[in-house]
């Protein structure tokens, strides 16, 4: 078996990256929202054709398919998930409705969260009539205060079933300290509705989905997982079956937002959210290692969204502070990334409430009907339409000529919806759309990096996505980053990144422990409790990964701890150098590591070890390394591109001239490593277009990656 395949479903296009003994295939097909398996197999078929193979033949030779899917996220956003019943501790039936202090703002953009007069809480995923309270109680130490009333459980389950429940989320108070009552409720449901019954329904326990402190976050994580679960399980079961019928012999692996992958059968649905961008961040780290780069800003401008992730000091921030999925605050151990509604399909519109203010996004035309230029029924002007009017994109060579677009429709949409109402020229309207979207992306990058204490100019900027290479010079205007990197697979970088991932499971457990006591100024002495928690998590990892076919010797572990000073509410994630503590010196090492991490984030003056140091949550990562894609050095040619590489000259609108300017158009496939092109220039590839602004130069380096750098002042 020689093939490795990565597939990433995006809002507008589905991307596919295939490696076969050093030969690669880069494929983009429109996303088919009515059935994501259609675009999945369409991408595989086109990839097999490119490699001159039948699909069945290719699948028989495939050792791994790694899939980033939006099936579960779509169910959540579109509210097409199943009707769920929530079973909780009596007296806490309103937990998810009360929420947290700022629940109304979770998941909103900065501008939306400021519009206080119009903000509303999101409609609950579970209606109040589908929530029942059970007579039971476990305290914060895991002790049973009130035994579970099993007759009450059976009565409440019957009530939910009669109301139309198609699944159950069981979220009891303090269940992460003692899961016995939740497990017994699941057993009762299975007794009442066994697998042999058509009424058998999934039961999701909060103690298994999110065994962490904080009932609102734990409840919502379990509910979101349950809401995403049904569509994912049904569609992926059909997908795996179809793959096997066509010759694929191995497991379908789902990419996770933890930065790894697992078999479908071992995956929690909530871990699939935002998996594509996370895979891209890991792909950028791999490429950065080739250049010895430790600080990287990863961006992906697709058709619907603009994704941002960072690598700092060679490390990817492990967990988001508050992972929000749609409008719901969760507590999954997700890799940190940010997404905004800014892409090629972002719709330009006039905000009449603000006096006809021109805005772009976050609404998107998506793949169907798409931008007006697609001529598939879309009438709203988009960023892609503006790029066509300005001459950046070639209507006759969109997706390498495989998709013809209509420039007249793009022009007409911008004229009717933007230019005429504003009383300006259509070309000026198109340029304003580009400027707004570039400024929006540059500002978001700056906030994501600078507000975390970093100088963007000390980073390399990785641009990917089908529209990234077209707009990177524009959004870098704000950032002034000295080096922009694109690779031949930038347009499908999420799919490429998927092929760079290892098998990875993350196990978590909240169990507050005092590491340093404020009152006595003494270090923690209960080593057995600490070690028992880590050992329990390790045993879970060994169980899961051996069931996936790996040996214990193949598994690599890392341990992270959520720690805080005494009386603090918020925690700081710390890498633990130890898996086992055996004395005061070990505890001191952990506390010193926390003090250093806290000082880096909040300045040394903010540290206060005298107030005590606590551990809140343990995170154990179990990983099995996999073979990764390797970049090969290519022979360098001349600095000057061959004359055959120049396809044409056409007028392109550039900011320097504030007008169209005759611009050379290059064929990417005819460029050779070592070639240097000074802007203004446009380079057309099958899957993307590189727009080299005046003042920049493009170099195709020895790895086949495109490097954009600002010219020195004397060269401009």
- Write the DSSP assignment of 434-445 as a string of letters: HHHHHHHHHHHH
Place 112 in a pLDDT band, splitting at 50, 70 and 90. confident
User: Rounded distance, CA 697 to CA 644, Å?
Assistant: 19
Residue 524 sits at the vertex; the CA angle it makes with 518 and 528, to the nearest 5 degrees, is 155
The crossing angle, in degrees rounded to 10, of helices 468-479 and 426-450 is 60
Token duo for residue 23: 């030969």
Token duo for residue 38: 């259609």
C-alpha of 29 from chain center = 20
Give CA separation, 573 vs 222, 364, 600, in Å: 22, 36, 12
The crossing angle, in degrees rounded to 10, of helices 180-192 and 150-162 is 50
- Omega before 362 within 30 of 0, i.e. cis: yes
Considering Cα of 547, then 552, then 554, then 556, what sign does the dihedral take? positive
How much is the pLDDT for 593?
94
Token duo for residue 428: 């000026």
Cβ neighbours around 240 below 10 Å, total: 17
Residue for token pair 């296009």 = 13
DSSP state of 583: S
Q: Which residues sit opposite 325 in a β-bridge? A: 328
Is residue 37 within 8 A of residue 243, CB to CB? The reply is no
How much is the pLDDT for 632?
86
Which tens digit of pLDDT belongs to each residue from 542-584? Answer: 999 998 889 999 999 999 999 999 988 888 889 999 999 999 9
How much is the pLDDT for 379?
93
pLDDT at 657 over 90: yes
Residues 6+ apart with CB under 8 A from 352: none
Residue for token pair 């090492």 = 589
Which tens digit of pLDDT belongs to each residue from 430-448? Answer: 999 999 999 999 999 999 8
pLDDT at 4 over 80: yes
**Does 406 or 102 have the greater pLDDT score?**
406
Give CB contacts under 8 A, 24+ apart, made by 397-403: 397/684, 399/28, 399/686, 399/687, 400/685, 400/686, 400/687, 402/686, 403/374
**Does 199 or 704 have the greater pLDDT score?**
704
User: Rounded distance, CA 479 to CA 483, Å?
Assistant: 11
- Section 28-43 average pLDDT: 89
Residues 6+ apart with CB under 8 A from 92: 133, 173, 215
Domain extent listing, the chain: 3-75+234-272, 78-229, 503-624, 643-715
Cβ neighbours around 152 below 10 Å, total: 15
CATH superfamily of 3-75+234-272: ATPase, nucleotide binding domain (3.30.420.40)
Polymer length in residues for the chain: 716
Cβ neighbours around 2 below 10 Å, total: 12
How much is the pLDDT for 630?
82
Question: Could you give the percent of the chain with pLDDT greater than 70?
Answer: 98
* Strand order across the 689-692 sheet: 646-654, 659-667, 681-684, 689-692
Which tens digit of pLDDT belongs to each residue from 591-642? Answer: 999 999 999 888 899 999 999 999 999 999 999 998 888 888 899 989 999 9
Shortest CA distance to 5 belongs to which of 68, 69, 71, 62?
A: 62
User: Rounded distance, CA 663 to CA 685, Å?
Assistant: 16
How much is the pLDDT for 672?
95
Residue for token pair 């509410």 = 569
Place 198 in a pLDDT band, splitting at 50, 70 and 90. low
Pseudo-torsion of CA 136, 138, 139, 143, nearest 10°?
A: 130
> Hey, is 530 helix, strand or coil?
helix
Which tens digit of pLDDT belongs to each residue from 671-714? Answer: 999 999 999 999 999 889 999 999 999 999 999 999 999 987 55
Place 333 in a pLDDT band, splitting at 50, 70 and 90. confident
Which tens digit of pLDDT belongs to each residue from 353-399? Answer: 888 999 998 888 877 788 999 999 999 999 999 999 999 999 999 98
Question: Could you give the percent of the chain with pLDDT greater than 90?
Answer: 67
Place 415 in a pLDDT band, splitting at 50, 70 and 90. very high
Mean pLDDT, the chain, rounded, equals: 91
User: Rounded distance, CA 306 to CA 444, Å?
Assistant: 9
How much is the pLDDT for 188?
96
Token duo for residue 479: 């950032």
DSSP string for residues in 446-503: HHHHHTTT--GGGSEEEEESTTHHHHHHHHHHHH--S-EEE-TTGGGHHHHHHTTPPE
Is residue 74 within 8 A of residue 80, CB to CB? The reply is yes
How much is the pLDDT for 71?
79
Fold exhibited by the domain 503-624 = Dna Ligase; domain 1 (3.30.1490)
Which tens digit of pLDDT belongs to each residue from 51-74? Answer: 999 999 999 999 999 999 887 887
How much is the pLDDT for 319?
61
DSSP state of 301: E
Residue ranges of E strands in 10-94: 13-20, 23-30, 62-68, 85-89
Is residue 583 within 8 A of residue 524, CB to CB? The reply is no
User: Rounded distance, CA 133 to CA 139, Å?
Assistant: 16
How much is the pLDDT for 715?
53
Is residue 304 within 8 A of residue 364, CB to CB? The reply is yes
Helix (H) or strand (E) holding 561: strand 556-565
pLDDT at 257 over 60: yes
Place 251 in a pLDDT band, splitting at 50, 70 and 90. confident
Q: Which residues sit opposite 338 in a β-bridge? A: 308
Which tens digit of pLDDT belongs to each residue from 116-167? Answer: 787 888 889 999 999 999 999 999 999 999 999 999 999 999 999 999 999 9
Place 320 in a pLDDT band, splitting at 50, 70 and 90. low
**Does 199 or 475 have the greater pLDDT score?**
475
Q: Which residues sit opposite 349 in a β-bridge? A: 359
Which tens digit of pLDDT belongs to each residue from 580-599? Answer: 999 999 999 999 999 999 99
Is residue 560 within 8 A of residue 621, CB to CB? The reply is yes
Residues 6+ apart with CB under 8 A from 420: none
Place 108 in a pLDDT band, splitting at 50, 70 and 90. confident
Residues 6+ apart with CB under 8 A from 330: 210, 217, 220, 221, 224, 270, 323, 324
How much is the pLDDT for 318?
67
How much is the pLDDT for 713?
58
């Amino acid at each position: 078996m020689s093939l490795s395949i990565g597939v990433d479903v995006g809002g507008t296009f589905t991307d596919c990256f295939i490696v076969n003994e050093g030969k690669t295939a880069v494929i983009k097909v429109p996303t088919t929202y009515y059935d994501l398996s259609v675009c999945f197999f369409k991408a595989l078929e086109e990839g097999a054709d490119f490699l001159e193979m039948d699909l069945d033949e290719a699948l028989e030779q495939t050792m791994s398919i790694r899939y980033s899917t939006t099936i579960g996220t779509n169910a959540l956003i579109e509210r097409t998930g199943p009707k769920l019943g929530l079973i909780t501790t009596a007296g806490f039936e309103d937990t998810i409705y009360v929420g947290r202090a700022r629940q109304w703002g979770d998941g909103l953009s900065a501008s939306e969260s400021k519009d206080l007069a119009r903000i509303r809480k999101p409609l609950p995923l579970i209606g109040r009539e589908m929530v029942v309270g059970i007579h039971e109680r476990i305290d914060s130490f895991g002790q049973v205060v009130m035994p579970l009333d099993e007759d009450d459980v059976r009565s409440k389950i019957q009530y939910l079933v009669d109301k139309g429940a198609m699944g159950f989320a069981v979220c009891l108070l303090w269940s992460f300290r003692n899961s016995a009552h939740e497990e017994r409720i699941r057993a009762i449901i299975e007794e009442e509705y066994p697998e042999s019954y058509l009424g058998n329904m999934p039961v999701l326990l909060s103690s298994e989905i999110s065994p962490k402190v904080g009932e609102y976050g734990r409840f919502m994580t379990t509910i979101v997982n349950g809401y995403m679960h049904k569509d994912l399980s049904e569609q992926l079961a059909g997908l795996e079956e179809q793959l096997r019928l066509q010759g694929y012999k191995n497991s379908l692996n789902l990419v996770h937002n933890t930065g790894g992958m697992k078999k479908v059968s071992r995956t929690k649905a909530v871990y699939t959210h935002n998996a594509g961008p996370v895979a891209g961040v890991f792909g950028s780290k791999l490429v950065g290692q080739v250049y010895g780069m430790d600080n990287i800003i990863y961006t992906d401008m697709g058709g619907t969204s603009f994704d941002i992730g960072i690598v700092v000091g060679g490390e990817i921030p492990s967990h988001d502070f508050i992972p929000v999925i749609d409008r719901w605050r969760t507590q999954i151990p997700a890799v940190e990334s940010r997404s905004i509604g800014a892409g090629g399909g972002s719709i330009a519109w006039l905000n009449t409430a603000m006096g006809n203010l021109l805005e772009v996004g976050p609404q998107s035309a998506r793949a169907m009907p798409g931008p007006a230029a697609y001529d598939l029924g879309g009438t709203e002007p988009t960023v892609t339409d503006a790029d066509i009017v300005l001459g950046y994109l070639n209507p006759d060579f969109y997706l390498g000529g495989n998709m013809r677009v209509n420039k007249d429709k793009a022009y007409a949409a911008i004229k009717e919806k933007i230019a005429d109402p504003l009383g300006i020229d259509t070309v000026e309207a198109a340029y304003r759309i580009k400027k707004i979207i570039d400024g929006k992306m540059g500002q978001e990058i700056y906030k994501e990096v600078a507000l975390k204490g970093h100088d963007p100019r000390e980073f390399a900027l990785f641009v990917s996505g089908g529209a990234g290479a077209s707009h990177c010079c524009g959004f870098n205007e704000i950032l002034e980053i000295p080096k922009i990197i694109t690779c031949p697979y930038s347009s499908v970088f999420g799919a490429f990144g998927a092929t760079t991932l290892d098998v990875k499971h993350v196990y978590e457990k909240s169990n507050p422990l005092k590491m340093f006591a404020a009152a006595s100024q003494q270090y923690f002495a209960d080593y057995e409790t600490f070690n028992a928690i880590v050992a329990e998590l390790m045993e879970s990892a060994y169980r899961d990964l051996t069931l996936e076919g790996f040996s214990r010797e193949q598994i690599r572990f890392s341990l992270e701890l959520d720690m805080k000073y005494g009386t603090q509410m918020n925690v700081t994630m710390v890498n633990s150098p130890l898996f086992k503590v055996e004395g005061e010196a070990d505890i001191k090492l952990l506390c010193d590591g926390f003090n250093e991490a806290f000082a880096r984030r909040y300045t040394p003056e903010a540290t206060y070890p005298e107030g005590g140091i606590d551990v809140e949550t343990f995170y154990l990562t179990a990983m099995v390394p996999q073979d990764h894609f390797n970049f090969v050095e290519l022979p360098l040619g001349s600095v000057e591109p061959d004359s055959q590489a120049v396809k044409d000259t056409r007028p392109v609108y550039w900011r320097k001239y504030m007008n169209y300017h005759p611009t050379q158009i290059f064929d990417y496939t005819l460029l050779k490593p070592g070639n240097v092109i000074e802007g203004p220039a446009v380079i057309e590839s099958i899957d993307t277009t590189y727009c080299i602004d005046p003042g920049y130069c493009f170099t195709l380096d020895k790895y086949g990656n495109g490097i954009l750098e600002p010219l020195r002042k004397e060269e401009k």
